[in-house]
Structure 1
Amino acid sequence: MSSHGIRDKVAIIGMGCTRFGELWDRSTADLLVEASEDSVKSAGVTLEDVDAFWLGTMDSGYSGLTLSTALKTRGKPVTRVENMCATGSEALRGAVYAVASGAVDMAMAIGVEKLKDSGFSGLVRNDPPDDGTPTETTAPAAFSYLAPAYQDTYGLDEQTMRDTLSHIAVKNHANGSRNERAQFRSPVTAEAVSCSPLVAGMLGIFDCSGVADGAAAAIVVRAEDAHKYTDKPMYVKALSIVAGNGTAILDDEASFASIPEVAASAQEAYRQAGIVDPRRELSLAEVHDCFTPTELVLMEDLGFSERGQGYRDVLAGAFDAEGDLPVNIDGGLKSFGHPVGATGLRMAFECWLQFRGEAGERQLPGPTLGLTHNLGGRPGRCVSFVGVFGSEKSA
């Protein structure tokens, strides 16, 4: 049975987001303080007004104390959550459902990650014991499988695939160059992307997202209370998350030209939000471009392109800043960076800025509906989150 959804029952009234990057001079606590202070300031409230907190972090803290000691809260509940790269979105989901249920009047969702201080270039964690069936590959290696799978499924030659992936990287770096909070702010050329040193399969350095520190936060209340705090609230239209059962990684017939969990979570989100044609109804989409072939496959799994036509739409500029549906207008993981616990909330933050007309150089004309998408894990064994947000209540 599908969920009933909570369309227009909850609204975001304030958000904050730090700069993402190699923030050697900032601690986890520093980032939490900055993001939370910016969010309450934009909402015109104080931390004392917040009834409960949801903290998302993968590896930068192991209880609610990570937040309560940083913010010096008094007698407030803090729930720490983790769901791989969908951690920030999971924190938002918890806060939103708490408000929608009537359990609290105001909640904060906040995500943070300090990856650079680990001393490793990549996500570092200890996987729990299992039955030995999961493959032991790095993230770049796992996602590199998407490119040849897509080529084989739709008959693309290697040059066409290379051109498609390079276009995605160039687009996202161009968008990020107009974002003062982005980790990487320099545009790149298709030649630089195509000729960058290889990491795994046909993926080069410029096909991979950055390793970053950062934090982002949101304050949510019941929709009927939103205008007490702001004249431009952002309404939650849908929240959908799907956890795969892990069998695809063992299925010889499965194709990495698609990620079923993404398609399933997207369809559920569209049902909740009442969206029939996402390519035309959405004003912008923030998707989990951890690697360039991931974004390509997502265009089809999210219903933005017909099956086998995603590469054509990418090359035609359909998802560029001036295209039919701007994708990762803030630079995405590729340029903005990917501090795991903060990424999902960072995506919602871009919708927040766009709806309020505060996105600066990258401001879109009159956006009204935005999508965020997180992918945690890897093809064949992952979780997928899709959220839909709007500037107005549905009629």
Structure 2
Amino acid sequence: MSASVYLLGGSQSDFARNWAREGLDIFAMFRCCLEQGLASTGLYPDQIEVGHVGNFAGDLFAGQGLLGGFFAQAFPELNGMPTTRHEAACASGSMALLGAIRDIRCGDCDLACVLGLEYMRNVPGKTGADYLGAATWKGIEAQHCDYPWPLMFSRIIDEYERRHGIDTKHLRTIAKLNFANARKNPRAQSRNWQFEPEFFTDCDAHNPIIEGRIRKSDCGQITDGAACIFVASERAAKVYARQHNLNLRDIPRIKGWGHRSAAIELETKLHHSEGNPLLFPHIRQLVGDALARAQLRDITDLDGLEIHDCFSITEYMVIDHCGLTAPGESWKAIEEGRIAADGDLPINASGGLIGLGHPVGATGVRMVLDCHRQVTAQAGDYQISGAKNMGTFNLGGSATTCASFIVGVGK
């Protein structure tokens, strides 16, 4: 990267909260997260020069667009500050972060706030599923079903079956690992949930089918939540380091990033990759982009990953698409324990979207915040020992918009 971009920290709401049930609206969520982020970093509102909001469907779930105006509504000191809302379905938060990074790199500002949020638990489940279906090709895909996204990702299971074969017991293992990791995370939606062993099997009574081949255990959660992070230039990071008695080299940086998009329709993407062992070759390209910008050779140069497990098959797909295994051999990394919390490349130590929760617009920001926690040894009970470089993978739609960040300290 041509200019260093630093992360000063931030905050995340408790993903177990149901804000509507508490009588609180989407603005209350935004303001609470921003206040906590400022308090946790010791920053002041008037230091923020630009605001970026990641949000997918505030217009649908909360009847509220124009979320950038919440900054000045929360703090009068921010009146007049430029703000932008970013939408890319589940990758909305990552797009907001990319916007802030570009502001810093081009020299327009020294300190940006990125805040992702989604308010989702105020409507019945079927209504929420319909709203989330706005990220499909509406009217073309996922017709005649109750839950569009489980049906779409069931199709990805079918395509793995056709190209490589797949044993769904490995999908159940992914879910079991992520729920177990979430029990160690004090902000996880499922941290206090209890499961019978049969929940992680193909038992229809204990683990019912949602759509196609997707079962309940395979699904990321419908979650209310927000996450924010403060992005700084080297100049601002040096000032911050002096003020907080820190060494600049110990403040995490965005070492690398990748951003690629593909056609909105899943079948179009799969048609384009016909004959390729990878279902989504652009994902391998963006991971390569991020590693190259970070001057790392291989995915195993990272100490851990926070990746998008909207469904267990998504994590399964990312394992081989990021190069941890050969195409079609994700199962090997699962059986060998490589992705477990004590493996050589832990995936979703936080609990991921399955265990921690998935407030859509917040997810990309939350992933980067968790990477910040890991490389600064602030992850508590889910800390990865010795973590210095962490990676994210965040997707929107059926891998339509994809982003990856590498967060690290030191060289």
> Could you say whether these structures have the same fold, taking a TM-score greater than 0.5 normalized by the shorter chain as the test?
yes
CA 1:252–1:269: 2 relative to 1, 3 Å: closer
1:171 aligned to which of 177, 183, 188: 177
In structure 1, how many angstroms separate the alpha carbons of the residues matched to 2:251 and 2:218? 35
Letter in 1 for 2:160: Y
C-alpha displacement of 1:301 = 0.8
| 1:193 and 2:200 aligned | yes
Q: What is the rounded CA distance, in whole Å, between the counterparts of 1:370 and 1:112 in structure 2?
A: 22
Q: Check conservation: 2:283, 2:321, Cα contact below 8 A.
A: yes
Give the aligned partner of residue 226 of structure 2: 215
The CA deviation at 1:91 is: 0.9
Specify which of 184, 196, 199 is matched with residue 190 of structure 2. 184
Equivalent-residue separation in structure 1 for 2:45 and 2:333 (angstroms): 45
175 and 131 in structure 1: CA distance in 2 versus 1, 3 angstrom threshold: closer
8 Å CA contact retained: 2:182, 2:190: yes
User: In structure 1, the residue corresponding to 2:131 is in which secondary structure?
Assistant: coil
- Structure 1 partner of 2:61: none
Supply the distance in 1 between the matched residues of 2:137 and 2:385 (Cα, whole angstroms). Answer: 49
Offset at residue 179 of structure 1 (A): 0.5
Question: CA 1:355 to 1:66, structure 2 compared with 1: closer, same or farther past 3 Å?
Answer: same
Distance 2:196 2:394 in 1: 27
Return the alpha-carbon distance in structure 2 between the equivalents of residues 252 and 14 of structure 1. 41
C-alpha distance in 1 between matches for 2:359 and 2:138: 29
Report if the CA contact (8 A) 1:223-1:235 is conserved: no
Structure 2 equivalent of residue 154 of structure 1: 164
Does 1:85 pair with 2:90?
yes
1:276 and 2:279 aligned: no
> Residues 84 and 180 of structure 1: is their aligned pair in 2 closer, same or farther, counting only changes over 3 Å?
same
Q: For residue 283 of structure 2, what is the aligned residue in structure 1?
A: 262
Alignment-mate amino acid for residue 389 of structure 1 = V
2:156 counterpart of 1:142: no
Aligned to 1:10: 5
- Report the Cα offset of residue 384 of structure 1: 0.6
SS in 1 for 2:168: helix
Partner-residue secondary structure (3-state), 2:122:
helix
Deviation at 1:226, TM superposition (A): 1.4
2:217 — aligned with what?
A: 206
Report the equivalent of 1:228. Answer: 239
Q: What percent of counterpart residues are identical?
A: 27
Q: RMSD value over aligned CA atoms? A: 2.3
Partner of residue 108, structure 2: 103
8 A contact 2:110–2:236 mirrored in 1: no
Aligned position for 1:243: 261
Q: Is the 8 A contact 2:136 2:397 kept in 1?
A: no
CA distance in 1, matches of 2:90, 2:165: 31
AA partner of residue 6 (structure 2): A
TM-score normalised to structure 2 length? 0.86
How far apart are 1:235 and its partner, in Å?
0.2
- Partner Cα distance (1:57, 1:337) in 2: 15
TM-score (norm 1): 0.90
The separation in 1 between residues aligned to 2:273 and 2:375, in whole angstroms, is 39
Match of 2:353 in 1: 333
Q: Given the superposition, is the C-alpha separation of residues 291 and 277 from structure 1 closer, same or farther in structure 2, using an over 3 Å criterion?
A: same
Query: Shift in Å at residue 40 of structure 1?
Result: 1.8
1:319 match: 339
CA distance in 2 between partners of 1:292 and 1:199 (Å): 13
CA distance in 2, matches of 1:38, 1:48: 15
Shift of 1:51: 0.7
Please name the residue that 1:32 is paired with.
30
Choose which of 288, 306, 311 in structure 2 pairs with 1:291. Answer: 311
User: 1:102, CA displacement in angstroms?
Assistant: 0.7
Q: Where in structure 1 are there 5+ consecutive unaligned residues?
A: none
Aligned AA for 1:301?
H
The structure 1 residue matched to 2:15, chosen from 16, 20, 38, is: 20
Residues in 2 aligned to 1:300 and 1:317: alpha-carbon distance in whole angstroms: 15
CA contact (8 A) 1:172 1:335 kept: yes
